[in-house]
Amino acid sequence: MGRHHHVENQLKYAEAYDADDGESYGQRNHHYKMLPFLTKNKTMILTHTSSLITHLLSLPRFPPTSSTPPLHPSPQGFLRSISGYKYCSSRVNREAMANGIKLVQNSDAISYLNQREAAEVDEILMGPLGFSVDQLMELAGLSVATAIAEVYNVKEYNRVLTICGPGNNGGDGLVAARHLHHFGYKPLVCYPKRTQKPLYTGLVTQLESLGIPFISVDDLCINLSGDFNILVDAMFGFSFVGTPRPPFDDLIQWLVNLHNYDDINQKRPVVASIDIPSGWHVEEGDITGDGIKPDMLVSLTAPKLCAKKFCGTHHFLGGRFVPPSIVDKFKLHLPPYPGTSMCVRIGKAPQVDISSMRENYISPELKEEDVEADPFVQFQKWFDDAMAAGLKEPNAMALCTAGKDGKPSSRMVLLKGFDKDGFVWYTNYGSRKAKDLSENANASLLFYWDGLNRQVRIEGSVQKVPEEESESYFHSRPRGSQIGAIASKQSTVIPGREFLHQEYKDLEAKFSDGAPIPKPENWGGYRLKPDFFEFWQGQTSRLHDRVCYFPQEVDSTIAWKIKRLAP
């Protein structure tokens, strides 16, 4: 009873404050006055942590190098190279966070909070559960930036305007702008009524230190379509009550007017609202029907009731900080977050016309005079670029084989070493690919590095690597992978997954003494010796670069001839 009375008083306070100055600090900040103030030391620690996060995100993805690394002479050297790069890139591998698989959720099964419940959740988070407002703001802003990056490709939607209100919703927008900058976007911020609290002035300082411009309302062009690809609505959150006052009334109307934009030569910018579309009633939504109609809504903690009226294309939930005690207290049904992702899609993904899907690649030109004379050295350079870019599994390659019947088959395998003698991978000698190669030793490899608009195609003949080489690599693998290689009779029919688990458990018990695990006789490596390379670089209007290497005998020695193919 007392808690509900306390929240009711907060709502009254918010209403009075909002009538004068847009959004108040909201429920999150008002009840802070009821909590013990942070000590000076704790404030310094939190500020330092924020600075540390900003610093880590700005670090280069890989150690700079002044020269091209040598070719990997062995699988072991190759593995050491990969592990070194992965250690460096994993610290700031934002793509792993943004590109995690998003679960499609049934929106009818998700819990929605009313305004009072939303306020009470925040009160508990920042009271007995020990969260601070800047912690929640950091997580919220990161979630918003991640959701935007999940949907809107930075190549096509790189110009972002974040419109921030004076309260916590505006703070979430400031944090989101910082993360979007680190994700490669070019954000600008409109922050007309700045809150002179250390937390907010610190966020502004962080953005200014990154060179992120702040733009006034007067300097904004009324036609926002020509200047920006994404407009982030971070004006008002769930604590807003009343009618928006200047300049936010005009800003909201500008966002509304975007839906009347009909210039066929220019794409309308998308609108992404944080938690609540500004001007909407937190429970009843767009009451008049004349409000903002965002393309994306990123609900925080749990969706608010107004989100049921959201008719845009992309609804995400972000935050990932709701502990079990709150889930139990409010009987929340929330979707699980996949992997390390900070956001999860609510509702079905939009239907897409596959025939209209296309990418207009923008890349440096690949000219014959600029490539290396040796295709192995050229591959090394491109592979190093893929490693440095932090791409996921740059050593993943499609292996294409065909048996004596001529039927092709493809699968993804992992490159485990390359040198002048060829490209090496490991597998079960009883698999489909092994059977194909025993009947037809010709195969092809395809590497595709999406982040760089590149692919490499390699063709040649295949043979098994020496037994001692397979033995050495087998024992370099994690012990679990060694057991897995024995447990799986690759490409054979098994009764079910439990059968595979049982095989693994039995072998795990058998080798529990820690003694070396013998390599199976039917397991080992293959090496493809190339007789053809193609380096493909995506370009605009389908005018892609295709530079190929063909072997040619010159003075009784084999040299490589470089030719260009039409795209």
**Is residue 275 part of an annotated ligand binding site?**
yes
Where do we find the tokens 């059977």? 435
Number of residues that make up the chain = 567
Structure tokens at 418: 């390359």
Helix 40-57 / helix 133-151 crossing angle, nearest 10 deg: 20
- Residue of 497, 542, 546, 564 marked catalytic: 542
- Residue 172 marked in a binding site: yes
Tokens for 60? Answer: 């280069």
Q: In terms of Cα–Cα distance, which of 473, 398, 464, 477 is closest to 434?
A: 464
Is 436 marked as binding a ligand?
A: no
Contact in structure between 273 and 298 (CB atoms under 8 Å)? yes
What lies within 8 Å, CB to CB, of 433 at 6+ separation is: 399, 401, 409, 411, 413, 427
Alpha helices in 403-496 (DSSP H): 432-439, 467-474, 479-487
Nearest one of 169, 167, 186 to 178, comparing CA atoms: 186
Distances in Å between the Cα of 41 and the Cα atoms of 51, 109, 346 are 15, 44, 40
Q: Which helix (H) or strand (E) holds 55?
A: helix 40-57
> Is 379 marked as binding a ligand?
no
- Region of 377 (left: φ > 0; alpha: ψ -120 to 50; beta: rest) is alpha
Paired with 413 in beta bridges are 397
460 by DSSP, 3-state: which?
Answer: strand
243 is in an annotated binding site: yes
Q: What does the alpha-carbon distance between residue 381 and residue 419 come to, in Å, rounded to a whole number?
A: 13
169 known ligand binder: yes
The response to whether 237 counts as a known ligand-binding position is yes
DSSP state of 214: B
Residue 512 gets the label, from left (phi > 0), alpha (psi -120 to 50) or beta, of: alpha
- Rounded Cα distance between 418 and 236, Å, is 56
Amino acid identity of residue 441, one-letter, is A
170 is in an annotated binding site: yes
241 is in an annotated binding site: yes
Q: Is 542 a catalytic residue?
A: yes
Q: Is 61 helix (H, G, I), strand (E, B) or coil?
A: coil
Q: Which residues are annotated as a binding site for K(+)?
A: 169, 233, 278
Q: Just list the catalytic residues.
A: 542
Annotated binding site for (6S)-NADPHX: 168-172, 237-243, 275
**Annotated binding-site ranges:** 168-172, 233, 237-243, 275, 278
